[in-house]
Structure 1
Amino acid sequence: MVGVTKPLTPVTSATPPPLPPPPPAELKFEGNPGKNPLGEASFRDMCSRLPSVLARTTRMAWETDRRAVLLLLVCQLLVGAGAAVQLAFTATAMQPVLGSGPAAGRLRAALPALVVIAVAAAVTRVATALSSYADGRITPRLTTGADTALVEAVCRTEAAAYAEPGFADRQEAAEMGVTRSRMMVQDATRFTAALVRMVTAGGVLSVLHPLMFPLLVLAVVPAGAGAVLSARVTYETHYANVGDRTVRQMMRWWSTTPKYSDEVRANGMTGYLLHWYRALSGRIDRRTLTAAPRMLRIVLTSSALGGVFLVGTWATLAWLAVTGRVDLAAAATAVVAVQTSLAALSQLVIHGAAMFHTSLYLADMRSFLDLVQELAPRRGELTAPARVAEIRVDEAVYQYPGKESPAVDHVSLTLRRGEIVAVVGENGSGKSTLTRLITGIYLADKGRVTWDGVDLARADPDTVWARTGLVPQNFAQWPLRARENVTLGQPRTVDDGPVWDALDTVGMRGAIEELPGGLDTLLARELFGGCELSGGQWQRLACSRALYRRPPLLILDEPTSQMDVRGERDVLDALKATAADQITIVVTHQLENTKVADRIVVMRHGRITEQGPYEELAHGGGLFAELLALSKDR
């Protein structure tokens, strides 16, 4: 009897609700590289920083545009002289205006002084306008200089520095210094202009009566102290948020760039990424809002103290006038001088606090640049051979910071011109690290790497990298024209012949010719008029970039992972065609492609376990044979 299969009873239990996403991890800017410069700074220390900031700003501006700096200095003197003339002739004009006699006669008597005041005011306004012009000449170049210095420093530092704890956080803090440098000259100019006006008005007040100026200073000192303390609170909040802001900015780019939009949408990541972004933003906002009560207490206290002393200043002036200790003309001049001094002192406080605030971020930038300078290559001045014939790796060891075991562990290897060497192994076996040692991107912790006997630790790295061509596993897709994506700033001729030759080598001529502008097409879909290539086309273009250089050492790390069969064949044929003139290294997981190699090097746990020709290793019963069998069994 044939059994009858009963249909399965559907499961009726309700699907459990999804778990809420976990909050982002706490991210702090701390550790050995990161130390809050305000952590142990006293109020006196903070105030004493202003002269050095002013001197540094002047020095940087002088190096940028000397004529503009001289113009600024002349303008500052004119502003001060104009303020002094206006106050002095105000007293002269007040004598007849407040005197006796017909109004017309009094005005005629005051007219010469009033004309001088008007001329002085006009000169002051012209000087202020010229100051803005000079600032407009200095600031863009100064900011560009600071930004370029930061980019150059990062580009020239050791690649190993990126693995240093806190390097990314310190770089983000330094970026804020570049941003703040835009206001540096303007704040310094306004600070010194206010200082000149304050000194001028204060001198007039001191002449009128010695009590006036000290009282006026006392009225503004609390505001100055409050501004500096507020800057300290603001910076502490900024400092606490550095880590979160760095990661949030990274996540913002990864979440919104069109390059990864398919992965975000098709994998249902949108909800979690938005939760993650809101959570980080909320944490940043909470720290900022927590600082608000402290800021309020500082402002209320400083304002109250300043108000008490300001009332005392006006009361003293009224008492002096009522008791006849100063005449009415002098009292009227004192009113103008007090108003001028108050305005100047307020500007002095505002821009002095801004300069102090900026100095904190500039200190971060300077500290980062000093760190990068310490980590910059200091390998020697030997010149790498122009056509290297042999590269030797002798007992090389390299261990990444924070790792327990070396990525490359006592590796010895000899590479010769005309040879294609394939490097294979499982993930994490040290293949890419070995190529970085061979190119001098990393320097061995132990052992050495030599090019025709020249130790890379003693060679000028620029001469080494001028002779290498590298296609990394994660290659860049530069938002440049197609031509620059091949030459990348290293054109060999004025015509495009070598560019087309490199594109022909990898089978990309047709794809580039179909673009709207050919070689002049911008390869950035995000920008107006730009076009995009497929992943495989980008990889071919990256290979053409390395082949265009015709380097003595060519390294390709997974060069065909995104290509179709035709593109893969084009690249492998190109390797064989150019192999005689160079040392060629191919890192790959596609073991069938290693047939193109003269020798295969097999790595495991940072060591070389086997090496030899394809047929020998394929039947040798070792790791290569095992991996090859697994690849065919898929």
Structure 2
Amino acid sequence: MPNHPKSTSGGQAGRRPPPPEPQEIEYRGAGVRNAFEETSFLRLCGKIPQLVGRIGRMAWEIDPRAVLVMLFAQVVSGVSAAVVLAATAKAMVPILGGGLVPDRVRDALPALVVVAAAASTARLTYALAQWAEQRLKPRLATSADVALVEAMCSVELSAFNDPVFADEHEAAESGAVRVDRMLYDAQLFMSSLIRLVAAGGVLTVLHPLMLPVLVLAVLPAGVGAVAEAKVEYQVHFATNSGRNVKGMMRWHVTTSRLADEVRGNSMRAYLVFWYRTMSARIDAKVMGAAPRMLRINLLSSAIGGVCLLGAWAMLVWLTVTGRVSLAVSATAVVAVRTALMALSNVVHYATSLFQTTLYLGDWRRFVDKARSLAPQRGGAVAPVCPERIRIDQVSYSYPGKTRPAVDGLSLTLNRGEVVAVVGENGSGKSTLTRLLTGLFTAEKGTVCWDGVDLARADPDTVWERTGVVTQFFAHWPLSVRENITLGQPVTWDDDRVWQTVDEVGMREAVEELPAGLDTLLARELWGGSDLSGGQWQRIACARALYRRPAVLVLDEPTSEMDARGEHRIFQELKNVADGRITIVVTHRLENTRIADRIIVMEKGRITENGTFDQLLKAGGLFQELYTLSQDR
């Protein structure tokens, strides 16, 4: 009888343990937290010109005319505000003076006309500013987004092995999203600043004591706003890794490609639990900052209210003591309210602007870092059709691993050969293929194509000569044609495409699709279709064969194919082998019969090297694995 595990306590008998909660993950980015934690209100004020200048330069590169229109609109709007206040002061004198009401209104009419004209001008300039903003915002956002995508496509493949790289990428994504907010904040900051200068100038003319009191009234709000922004950014920093892994899990949970696995393995309940728990954990960190935000708000509001009360008391005292006239006092009320609103907006948008530029700083740091991680190996040109690839004492290790993936490996591959690479999982097969195609560069030793060291060769010249089918290949949401040519057609017609389709045995399947080669391979999109796993694998092989590469690497190219498709692919590989170096990684040892040589790898080293018949009698790992495969 089978043995069953015993329950540790009677109360737990027959009960399952609860599902495990998500791991706590900390962001280990490049020390960006100090950027805000060490910033005070005065330092913020000192940084504003630099921030506005940075935004202005970015916008200028996109559309100089729109920037000029926006600046013109802001200046005219500020002048209009000053004219409104000055004209209001003139209108108040007759309105609050003596005489009949019709006479007072008639005397104030010219000033009131000026007020109306200036207000209308301000509205027109607002519309102009909106036009300029709408021209700039989408293109700024697109520019940041494209720069991020370009950076991700440009880095060395080894960068993706660094866990910090993923966190910094997530932070950069947040920065790219906020670019349009940055322009909005900059525009309103400049508008409010110009209005503040205009209102402050009028207020100073009315009485010099009013301006410092007004500044004192809004200063606590500015300090509080900076403190609030610090807290918000700290929360963003603390939840960065959680949001990153949550986004990854969301894709896994919702994609149609894994829907069978999720349902067939009864994973739905656990995945929803995991997602809800991670979301609640992130929410808890955000909510945990709420009391601090409340204290900051209450304190800054209380102090600001006391100072504002002092400003109004000062105005009343100046009026009662006769130091200013009632007309000037009435104008001062309007000016104070205008200046107070403008000054509050200046502080608010300056703080928001600074906060947004911190996120933008994450984006900028990542883009700059990605540029430094782009392949910089030298200018040597890889041979168009190498006769020999020589791997000499090569070693390569992945971060966090105690043992090298390949260690002291030496191998020679010759043109016209089909070389099969076999071994157990984790033996270094895929790492070997990445090294010999220049996707990785060796930490020790050299990989040379006809004497050209790939570590010193322009990688684009290497990859132009390679065709790679990986274990995990993309199901691109493109047409059948583009899935094969990958946007790099070599002829004006489809003859070469159909030839490749025939080589992988896909003609009948493609002809049955609604639009043939033009069929969109994305079932989730309207008008799209999908393929089976084996058909997708044939398409992946077709991509490599279409290019007619000098170096062809196929990593488990037929794992999802039926016997007929698998036989066809390997037969085609043999047919086209003469003009190239072909490397096939496979666990199906029967397929290695077509190979001229078989390389057996164990723990990053080559332990056997020979033909199928030789290795089948050698008594080594190959013979053991082959015998096991026959017992299935």
1:300 corresponding residue in structure 2 = 298
2:146 corresponding residue in structure 1 = 148
1:121 corresponding residue in structure 2 = 119
Aligned partner of 1:488: which letter?
L
1:54-93 alignment, distance < 5 Å: 54-93=52-91
Of 127, 132, 137, which residue of structure 2 is paired with 1:134? 132
Matching of residue 602 in structure 1 with residue 620 in structure 2 = no
Structure 2 distance, partners of 1:362, 1:215, is 35
1:103 corresponding residue in structure 2 = 101
For residue 531 of structure 1, give the secondary structure of its aligned residue in structure 2. coil
C-alpha displacement of 1:279: 1.2
C-alpha displacement of 1:37: 2.8
- 1:34 and 1:166 in contact (8 A); partners too: no
- 1:96 and 1:107 in contact (8 A); partners too: yes
1:444 corresponding residue in structure 2 = 442
2:223 corresponding residue in structure 1 = 225
2:369 corresponding residue in structure 1 = 371
- 2:553 and 2:584 in contact (8 A); partners too: yes
Farther-moved stretch of structure 1 (482-491 vs 363-372): 363-372
- 1:395 and 1:411 in contact (8 A); partners too: yes
Structure 1 distance, partners of 2:473, 2:48, is 46
2:392 corresponding residue in structure 1 = 394
Aligned partner of 2:622: which letter?
F
2:421 corresponding residue in structure 1 = 423
- 2:510 and 2:516 in contact (8 A); partners too: yes
Structure 2 distance, partners of 1:353, 1:336, is 26
1:41 corresponding residue in structure 2 = 38
2:453 corresponding residue in structure 1 = 455
C-alpha displacement of 1:203: 0.8
Query: Residues 258-317 of structure 1: CA distance to partner in whole angstroms, max 9, x if unpaired?
Result: 111111111111111111111111111111111000000000001111111111111111
C-alpha displacement of 1:38: 4.2
Structure 2 distance, partners of 1:178, 1:623, is 51
1:219-368 alignment, distance < 5 Å: 219-368=217-366
Structure 1 distance, partners of 2:48, 2:572, is 62
Structure 1 distance, partners of 2:357, 2:13, is 57
1:192 corresponding residue in structure 2 = 190
For residue 584 of structure 1, give the secondary structure of its aligned residue in structure 2. strand
C-alpha displacement of 1:537: 0.5
Query: Residues 103-144 of structure 1: CA distance to partner in whole angstroms, max 9, x if unpaired?
Result: 222222222221111111111111111111101111111111
Structure 2 distance, partners of 1:49, 1:402, is 40
Aligned partner of 1:67: which letter?
R
2:466 corresponding residue in structure 1 = 468
Structure 2 distance, partners of 1:45, 1:554, is 58
1:626 corresponding residue in structure 2 = 624
1:3 corresponding residue in structure 2 = none
Structure 2 distance, partners of 1:106, 1:301, is 46
C-alpha displacement of 1:39: 7.0
Structure 1 distance, partners of 2:211, 2:459, is 62
CA RMSD of aligned residues (A): 1.5
1:493-512 alignment, distance < 5 Å: 493-512=491-510
- 1:38 and 1:232 in contact (8 A); partners too: no
Structure 2 distance, partners of 1:541, 1:633, is 32
Aligned partner of 2:174: which letter?
M
Farther-moved stretch of structure 1 (326-335 vs 420-429): 326-335
1:553 corresponding residue in structure 2 = 551
Structure 1 distance, partners of 2:442, 2:142, is 36
Structure 2 distance, partners of 1:309, 1:107, is 36
C-alpha displacement of 1:186: 1.2
- Decide whether aligned partners of structure 1 residues 102 and 35 sit closer, same or farther in structure 2, where only a CA change above 3 A counts: closer
- 1:87 and 1:204 in contact (8 A); partners too: yes
Query: Residues 462-516 of structure 1: CA distance to partner in whole angstroms, max 9, x if unpaired?
Result: 1111111100011111111111111111111222221111111101111111111
Structure 2 distance, partners of 1:367, 1:332, is 52
The unaligned stretches of length 5 or more in structure 1 are: 1-10
Farther-moved stretch of structure 1 (345-354 vs 205-214): 345-354
For residue 378 of structure 2, give the secondary structure of its aligned residue in structure 1. coil
Farther-moved stretch of structure 1 (340-349 vs 499-508): 340-349
For residue 447 of structure 2, give the secondary structure of its aligned residue in structure 1. strand
Structure 1 distance, partners of 2:279, 2:261, is 23
C-alpha displacement of 1:189: 0.5
Aligned partner of 1:555: which letter?
V
> TM-score, normalising length from structure 1?
0.96
- 2:32 and 2:362 in contact (8 A); partners too: no
Structure 2 distance, partners of 1:34, 1:100, is 68
Query: Residues 176-206 of structure 1: CA distance to partner in whole angstroms, max 9, x if unpaired?
Result: 0011112111110000000000011001111
Structure 2 distance, partners of 1:614, 1:471, is 23
C-alpha displacement of 1:401: 1.4
2:3 corresponding residue in structure 1 = none
For residue 383 of structure 2, give the secondary structure of its aligned residue in structure 1. coil
Structure 2 distance, partners of 1:280, 1:599, is 50
Query: Residues 592-628 of structure 1: CA distance to partner in whole angstroms, max 9, x if unpaired?
Result: 1011111111111101111111111111111111111
Of 203, 206, 221, which residue of structure 2 is paired with 1:208? 206
Same amino acid, percent of matched pairs: 58
Query: Residues 391-414 of structure 1: CA distance to partner in whole angstroms, max 9, x if unpaired?
Result: 111111111112111111111111
1:564-603 alignment, distance < 5 Å: 564-603=562-601
C-alpha displacement of 1:346: 2.1
- 1:205 and 1:338 in contact (8 A); partners too: yes
1:611 corresponding residue in structure 2 = 609
For residue 327 of structure 2, give the secondary structure of its aligned residue in structure 1. helix
For residue 396 of structure 1, give the secondary structure of its aligned residue in structure 2. strand
For residue 111 of structure 1, give the secondary structure of its aligned residue in structure 2. helix
Farther-moved stretch of structure 1 (33-42 vs 151-160): 33-42
Aligned partner of 2:256: which letter?
P
Structure 2 distance, partners of 1:46, 1:475, is 48
For residue 442 of structure 1, give the secondary structure of its aligned residue in structure 2. coil
Structure 1 distance, partners of 2:81, 2:608, is 85
Aligned partner of 2:492: which letter?
V
Farther-moved stretch of structure 1 (291-300 vs 405-414): 405-414
Query: Residues 435-461 of structure 1: CA distance to partner in whole angstroms, max 9, x if unpaired?
Result: 000011100001111111111111111
Query: Residues 330-371 of structure 1: CA distance to partner in whole angstroms, max 9, x if unpaired?
Result: 112111111111221222122112112101211111222222
C-alpha displacement of 1:380: 0.5
For residue 393 of structure 1, give the secondary structure of its aligned residue in structure 2. strand
For residue 411 of structure 2, give the secondary structure of its aligned residue in structure 1. strand
C-alpha displacement of 1:40: 4.8
1:178 corresponding residue in structure 2 = 176
For residue 166 of structure 1, give the secondary structure of its aligned residue in structure 2. helix
1:7 corresponding residue in structure 2 = none
C-alpha displacement of 1:22: 1.8
1:4 corresponding residue in structure 2 = none
C-alpha displacement of 1:102: 2.3
Aligned partner of 1:36: which letter?
R
The unaligned stretches of length 5 or more in structure 2 are: 1-5
Structure 2 distance, partners of 1:510, 1:73, is 62
C-alpha displacement of 1:46: 4.4
- 1:24 and 1:276 in contact (8 A); partners too: yes
- 2:434 and 2:440 in contact (8 A); partners too: yes
Count of aligned pairs: 622
For residue 122 of structure 1, give the secondary structure of its aligned residue in structure 2. helix
Give the 4+ runs in structure 1 shifted more than 3 A. 44-49
C-alpha displacement of 1:50: 2.8
